[in-house]
């Protein structure tokens, strides 16, 4: 059997009560910075090209072992640069949240530039008493440059399994050349969205803490869809308890500035000593 020599690998373990990276093999174009934060671990993703350049492919395996506490974020907005020759940019991430672990996957927005093609897949498995928080954040291009929905194609997929059973399987594709992104059934006058998935046993103290904060923030920031009045709303969102293992928020806004306060307050809540113990967005403007 031929081994895959291009897959990047991260292994995160609990050593004497402290979470650390115990194995790392990272290939271009991916860069990973590891920061130790008290008893937790903060990993920051970046790219050698400052974003995804035409033809870039990231294949990453993450193993967060039992009793670990970790957060994954990005150094800045994940930019997808134009595809001059029609080649796709793609990333695939396979993650495992070990028993009694807490994993937070909270990056900055993905921003596809004009004529870009991007595809991403996230596959996570949860072991007993694991908690996973995933924030999927998107902006429809360099809005100030007039590139709103000027990309060729964008596809994102998230699948989360618990005990071998899918509890989340979310897919979203945009082809602006084929579909009207300004229709009421799409984005209308909005340009940004955030999807948030909290996965784990609803009786877990960590799940209860994060879900309570998400509900509070949703009530504070988002309006539910109002028939015939949606055009006047700068933000629209909904919070849904899917089942005993999944809580979900979907929201959109005219721009990312209107969504940033929500994410920053969520990140601040994660600094609780019983959660991450640090703010993964600390130091951001």
pLDDT tens sequence across 173-198:
999 989 999 898 889 899 999 999 99
**Tokens for 230?**
């949606």
Residue 190 within a domain: yes
Question: Number of helices (H) and strands (E), helices first, in the chain?
Answer: 2, 17
Q: Which residue has the tokens 């059997």?
A: 1
Residue 277 within a domain: no
Residue 265 within a domain: yes
CA gap 41, 215 in Å, rounded: 26
Which residues constitute the domain of residue 12? Answer: 8-269
Residue 274 within a domain: no
Q: What pLDDT sits at residue 4?
A: 47
Residue 242 within a domain: yes
Q: What pLDDT sits at residue 230?
A: 52
Alpha helix ranges (H) inside the chain: 205-221, 260-269
Residue 281 within a domain: no
pLDDT in tens, 95-111: 999 999 999 999 999 99
Does residue 29 have a cis peptide bond before it, meaning omega lies within 30 degrees of 0?
Answer: yes
pLDDT in tens, 13-49: 999 999 999 999 999 999 999 998 989 999 999 998 7
pTM beyond 0.85, yes or no: yes
**Tokens for 281?**
């967005």
Q: What pLDDT sits at residue 3?
A: 42
**Tokens for 34?**
């590891």
Ranges of residues in the chain with a pLDDT under 70 are 1-5, 223-232, 283-285
Residue 3 within a domain: no
Q: What pLDDT sits at residue 2?
A: 37
CA gap 270, 213 in Å, rounded: 10
Q: What pLDDT sits at residue 283?
A: 67
The domain tally of the chain equals 1
Per the CB < 8 A criterion, the answer to whether 248 and 197 are in contact is yes
Q: What is the DSSP annotation of 1-38?
A: ----SS-EEEEEEEETTEEEEEEEE--TTEEEEEEEET
User: Coil, strand or helix: which one is 175?
Assistant: coil
Cβ neighbours for 215, distance < 8 A, ≥ 6 positions apart: 239
Residue 68 within a domain: yes
**Tokens for 111?**
């921003």
User: Coil, strand or helix: which one is 221?
Assistant: helix
Measured from the Cβ of residue 89, the count of other Cβ atoms closer than 10 Å reads 23
Q: What pLDDT sits at residue 67?
A: 98
Q: What pLDDT sits at residue 135?
A: 97
């Amino acid at each position: 059997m031929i081994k895959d020599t291009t897959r990047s690998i991260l292994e995160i373990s609990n050593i004497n009560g402290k979470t650390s990276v115990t194995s790392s093999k990272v290939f271009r174009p991916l860069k990973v910075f590891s920061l130790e934060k008290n008893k937790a671990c903060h990993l920051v993703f970046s790219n050698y090209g400052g974003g995804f350049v035409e033809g870039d492919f990231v294949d990453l395996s993450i193993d967060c072992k039992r009793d670990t506490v970790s957060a994954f974020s990005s150094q800045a907005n994940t930019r997808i640069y134009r595809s001059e020759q029609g080649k796709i940019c793609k990333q695939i991430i396979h993650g495992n949240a070990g028993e009694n672990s807490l994993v937070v996957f909270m990056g900055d927005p993905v921003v596809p530039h004009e004529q870009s093609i991007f595809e991403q897949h996230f596959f996570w498995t949860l072991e007993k008493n694991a908690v996973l928080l995933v924030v999927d954040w998107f902006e429809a291009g360099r809005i100030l440059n007039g590139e709103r929905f000027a990309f060729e194609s964008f596809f994102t997929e998230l699948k989360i399994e618990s005990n071998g059973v899918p509890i989340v399987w979310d897919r979203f594709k945009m082809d602006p050349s084929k579909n009207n992104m300004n229709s009421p059934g799409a984005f209308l006058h909005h340009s940004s969205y955030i999807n948030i998935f909290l996965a784990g046993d609803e009786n877990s103290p960590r799940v209860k803490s994060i879900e309570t904060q998400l509900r509070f923030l949703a009530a504070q920031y988002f309006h539910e869809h109002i028939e015939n009045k949606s055009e006047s709303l700068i933000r629209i969102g909904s919070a849904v308890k899917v089942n005993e293992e999944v809580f979900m928020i979907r929201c959109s806004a005219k721009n990312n500035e209107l969504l940033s306060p929500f994410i920053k307050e969520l990140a601040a809540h994660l600094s609780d000593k019983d959660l991450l113990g640090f703010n993964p967005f600390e130091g951001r403007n």
